[in-house]
Amino acid sequence: MYLTVTPLSIVALTTAPPYFDTNGSISVPPPPNVIRSGLYESITLEYHKYTIKYCLTLITQTILFFLIVVCSMKVVIFGGTGLIGRAIYSSLPHDFYIVSRSAKGQEGQAHIIGLDEIDKIKECDVVINLSGYSIASKRWNRKVKEEIVRSRIDTTRLVVNFIRNLEKKPSAFLSGSAIGFYGHNTNKELTEEDPFGSGFLADLARSWEEEAMQADGICRTVLLRTANFLSPKGGFLSALINPKSKNVMYFGDGRQPVSWMHYADYVKAVEFVIENASIAGPVNMSSPQPVTFKEFAEAFSKSLGSHIRSIPEFLGKIALGSEMYRELMSGQKVIPKKLIQAGFKFDFPDINTAASSIASLMK
């Protein structure tokens, strides 16, 4: 026997799969405690509790659906097929359009489109620019350095023009940069208020940011000064951790400062910046606790159950060249002052917690 759901108790449909009687009315099975007590003719207080419980579940699911579908934004990412871009579009519930020079198609919820198709986009909520040739994939020479510069400056100029030509302007433009902006400043803690430093990477970051700021009069522009991005899928860690032995290396005496950020905190911070209209200009995308290179290696070797290996400085210079070694290994103590002041909460603020999290995904 089933309890017939009248119009006044239609909400009870959330309690169980509906059934149709021969007369066409919708019915649902009563809960077990009602069956045991033999109360087939009335809805008891316990049945009301049973109904309310499932109603609350339905309401919660409806709210989540609203947040994911109705509140999702249209986000265009240039350079989104790299490590950081993939972390962003695979984690956030938005409608992503990834602009690529080669690949096209669908990847998860992201639409991969070519540069020749960007004119079809007439409006979007957010634009993110992560384009740029890797600074560490090849030993530097004049040609490689020119490619590193051109891939950032020229593409950023293209992105700004794309924003300028949109029929409806985005609410925010997030453009990549790097903590190399601060140069070889290893002795003090650096915030967004500190000036640019010296060296190739500092000059690169400064020019990159100047190009991105051409969009500042069009929409809110944020410069993502990115520290070493920690991910189990590659990047900075793949250059330091042996894929077989899991041994972790560091260079020289290991006293160089290392600023870093866990990939999950980075993605969370990107969403935080998008949602907070008061945040503009440079933002240090780093954890609040920089460490030395040796401390960094020790944290990961402990989490991986492996050993650390020190690479003599002269070997590093032979492998990378003196300029590249100096630029990449000098390090900076970067503090994310703007994120902290805006109330951002880090899930992985210290290197031991971050290393444990990432190592669990690498074993």
For 271-277, what is the mean pLDDT? 98
| Model pLDDT, residue 71 | 60
Look at residue 53 and tell me whether its pLDDT is greater than 80. Answer: no
- Of 340 and 68, which is predicted with more confidence? 340
CA–CA separation, 294 and 299 (whole Å): 9
Look at residue 4 and tell me whether its pLDDT is greater than 70.
no
Q: Identify the architecture of domain 74-359 in CATH.
A: 3-Layer(aba) Sandwich (3.40)
Instruction: Give the side-chain half-sphere CA count within 13 A for 178.
Output: 24
Distance CA 149, CA 128 (A): 18
Flag whether pLDDT at 175 surpasses 90: yes
Assess whether pLDDT exceeds 80 at residue 95: yes
Asked if pLDDT for residue 16 goes beyond 60, the answer is no
Answer yes or no: is pLDDT of 61 > 80.
no
The predicted pLDDT at position 12 comes to 36
Taking all residues of the chain, what is their mean pLDDT, rounded to a whole number?
Answer: 86
Residue spans of the domains in the chain: they are 3-68, 74-359
Q: What is the pLDDT of residue 33?
A: 53
Confidence of residue 10 (pLDDT cuts 50, 70, 90): very low
Mean pLDDT of 236-255: 95
Indicate the pLDDT class of residue 47, thresholds 50, 70 and 90.
Answer: low
Report residue 186's pLDDT band, with 50, 70 and 90 as the boundaries: confident
**Which residues are paired to 28 by β-bridges?**
3
Position 330 confidence tier, pLDDT thresholds 50, 70, 90: confident
The C-alpha atoms of residue 64 and residue 57 are separated, in whole angstroms, by 11
Is 69 buried (19+), middle (13-18) or exposed (0-12) by CB count in 10 A?
exposed
Helix (H, G, I), strand (E, B) or coil at 267: helix
Query: What confidence category does residue 9 fall into, taking pLDDT thresholds of 50, 70 and 90?
Result: very low
What is the predicted pLDDT for the residue at 103? 66
- Residue at 255: amino acid letter: R
Contact 96, 110 (CB under 8 A): yes
Q: Is the pLDDT of residue 169 over 80?
A: yes
- What is the average pLDDT across 50-66? 58
pLDDT at 56 over 80: no
E runs forming strands in 79-125: 95-100, 105-107, 110-114
The pLDDT score that the predictor gives to residue 108 is 74
Residues 37-63 have a mean pLDDT of: 57
Question: What tokens does 100 get?
Answer: 């690529």
Identity of residue 178: A
On the question of pLDDT at 32 being above 80, the answer is no
